[in-house]
Amino acid sequence: MEWLWWVGGAVLCAIVEVLSLDLVLIMFAGGALAGGAAAALGVPLVGQVVVALVVSVLLLLTLRPWMLRHLRDRVPLVETNVHALVGRPATVVATLSADGGRVKLAGEVWSARLDGPGVLEPGAPVQVRRIDGATAVVATPVTGGTATGPVTA
In tens digits, the chain (153 residues) has pLDDT values of 889 999 999 999 999 999 888 899 999 999 999 999 999 999 999 999 999 999 999 999 999 999 888 887 776 666 667 778 888 999 999 999 999 999 999 888 999 999 888 899 999 999 999 988 889 999 887 554 444 444 444
For the chain, domains (ranges, CATH) are: 2-74 (no CATH), 81-147 (2.40.50.140)
Helix (H) or strand (E) holding 32: helix 25-40
Determine contact, residues 124/91, Cβ cutoff 8 Å: yes
Give the global pTM.
0.52
CA distance 87 to 137: 10
